[in-house]
Amino acid sequence: MRRVRTMAEEVVRCAWLTKDPIYIKYHDEEWGKPEYNSQRLFEMLCLEGQQAGLSWLTILKKREAYQRLFFEFDPYKIVKLEYSDVFENMIKDEPGVPGLVKHKRKIESILNNAKCYARMENEGEDFSKFIWSFVNHKPIVNRWETNDQIPSQTSISASLALSLKAKGFKYVGSTTCYAFMQACGLVNDHLTTCISYNKCS
């Protein structure tokens, strides 16, 4: 008797993914899709900085709290905040509701980066065009078959990190920048067997 495969059995995703529904939704709907909106790019750069030393799933679960406290990552509203404003809201976290990563320097980096973003834009430099210029405004499509082939950083992410640091941004090391590039589709690092590979190519 021929065994009929279910749809669930046919779905193949990137090998690094867990079975957490939040992670799967993020992978299927966001990760690796080219993002050109400057404010969204700013949000992802800041969130990747918050991840340092933690899992990305941890940050995903706290994402709504970050969006709420930082005005959906509107840099022009963030620049009006002081650390004390954010701290007051941090200590009001409801039991059982994921809040921010309570790391003073990481929180301060968001306030700092918003000022850097605003300065760039006020000087006529579009943030999205600046970010995408590092890949010549076109996604780099890789053809990885296994996880161990995927780099944690590249010469491009190192160059992006140096440029961002020169503009005053913080928590933007080369590894962080590469994770940011992967998340926002500057590079397509879905495995070739993943259902999302062709969607992002």
Q: So where are the chain's domains?
A: 18-200
Catalytic residue among 30, 56, 108, 121: 56
Round to whole Å and give the CA distance between 178 and 153.
5
Give dist(CA 158, CA 152) in Å, integer.
11
Please confirm, yes or no, whether 16 is among the known catalytic residues.
no
Q: Which of 23, 31, 35, 48 is catalytic?
A: 48
Q: Residue 191's Cα: distance from chain center in Å?
A: 18
Name the active-site residue from 26, 30, 108, 121: 26
DSSP per-residue letters across 24-80: HHHHHHTTTS----HHHHHHHHHHHHHHTTS-HHHHHHHHHHHHHHTGGG-HHHHTT
Alpha helices in the chain (DSSP H): 7-10, 21-29, 38-51, 56-69, 75-78, 83-90, 104-122, 127-132, 155-166, 174-183
User: pLDDT value at position 92?
Assistant: 65
Percent of the chain at pLDDT > 70 equals 92
Whether residue 153 has pLDDT greater than 60: yes
Residue in 156, 196, 146 with CA at minimum distance from that of residue 178: 156
Alpha carbon dihedral 180, 182, 184, 187, in 10-degree steps, equals: 130
pTM (global) more than 0.75: yes
Is 56 marked active-site? yes
Using one digit for the tens of pLDDT, what is the confidence trace for 18-52? 999 999 999 999 999 999 999 999 999 999 999 98
Instruction: Give the pLDDT confidence of 53-111 residue by residue, as tens digits.
Output: 899 999 999 999 999 999 999 999 999 998 888 887 776 666 555 688 889 999 999 99
CA–chain centroid gap for 126, Å, is: 19
Residue 9 annotated as catalytic: no
Can you identify the CATH homologous superfamily of domain 18-200?
Hypothetical protein; domain 2 (1.10.340.30)
Closest CA to 183 of 9, 29, 3, 6: 29
Whether the per-residue pLDDT at 179 is higher than 80: the answer is yes
Q: pLDDT tens for residues 102-145?
A: 899 999 999 999 999 999 999 999 999 999 999 999 999 999 99
CA distances from 140 to 73, 115, 188 (A): 26, 29, 6
